[in-house]
């Protein structure tokens, strides 16, 4: 537990500093008029209520808000903040994607196993593949408005990075990992069931039966 928290603190604080630096470059000095237009990278969608900058993600309050900032930080912003430096694996959300992919796969597999006792292994495998696919994750990210929360470099933001399916799918996995590291399996499982499995389960089972 201590190791997990130490890792989260070191990598998450760096992402939080990058987010603040990015906002400062776009918004200007602190004494600029409040009417200045905020950077797209720090906008938050209304479902987060308090917004990711305060560690509130939908109905989950992060104990370490820097973990959420790290999960939303794309490598383009990490490079923009340190273009001459050595690439730091803890400066963006790619390592969290790796962990989130594993957590997502386990939660989906367990849910299908428990909910669908009549299905055989092959059918369960096909359903799991559909639920954890990049295409499905990107669709979920668009539905829950994850895109506007992403912290992107200026070039990536100007090219429409907030709407790119690959970036959205990766961010979904990173957010799942952040939920797991911050609160354990319960918040990660709740998020996956509510947003990834629940809305799609009936449709996927119908498609499986029709095929």
Catalytic residue among 64, 97, 173, 182: 173
Q: Tokens 């979920």 sit at which residue?
A: 140
Q: What angle do CA 153, 26, 163 make, to 5 degrees?
A: 40
Does the annotation mark 201 as catalytic? Answer: no
Find the catalytic residue in 101, 156, 170, 182: 101
What are the tokens at 173? 């996995």
Told to judge if 173 belongs to the known catalytic residues of this protein, a careful annotator would answer yes
By the 10 Å C-beta count (0-12 exposed, 13-18 middle, 19+ buried), 65 is classed as: buried
- In angstroms, rounded to a whole number, what is the distance separating the alpha carbons of residues 187 and 195? 12
- Which residues are bridge partners to 57 per DSSP? 60
Of 61, 22, 47, 53, whose CA–CA distance to 157 is shortest?
A: 22
Catalytic residue annotation: 101, 173
């Amino acid at each position: 537990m201590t190791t997990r928290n130490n890792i989260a603190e070191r990598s998450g604080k760096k992402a939080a500093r990058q987010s603040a630096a990015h906002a400062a470059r776009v918004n200007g000095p602190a004494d600029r008029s409040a009417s200045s237009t905020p950077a797209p990278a720090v906008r938050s969608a209304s479902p987060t209520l308090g917004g990711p900058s305060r560690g509130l993600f939908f109905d989950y309050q992060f104990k370490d808000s820097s973990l959420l900032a790290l999960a939303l930080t794309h490598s383009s912003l990490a490079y923009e903040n340190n273009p001459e430096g050595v690439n730091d694996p803890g400066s963006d959300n790619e390592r969290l994607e790796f962990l989130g992919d594993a957590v997502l796969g386990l939660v989906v597999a367990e849910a299908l196993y428990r909910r669908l006792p009549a299905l055989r292994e092959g059918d369960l495998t096909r359903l799991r593949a559909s639920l954890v696919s990049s295409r499905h994750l990107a669709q979920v990210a668009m539905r829950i408005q994850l895109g506007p929360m992403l912290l992107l470099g200026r070039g990536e933001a100007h090219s429409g990075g907030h709407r790119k399916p690959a970036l959205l799918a990766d961010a979904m996995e990173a957010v799942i990992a952040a939920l797991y590291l911050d609160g354990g399996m319960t918040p990660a499982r709740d998020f996956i069931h509510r947003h990834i499995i629940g809305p799609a389960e009936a449709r996927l089972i119908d498609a499986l039966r029709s095929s």
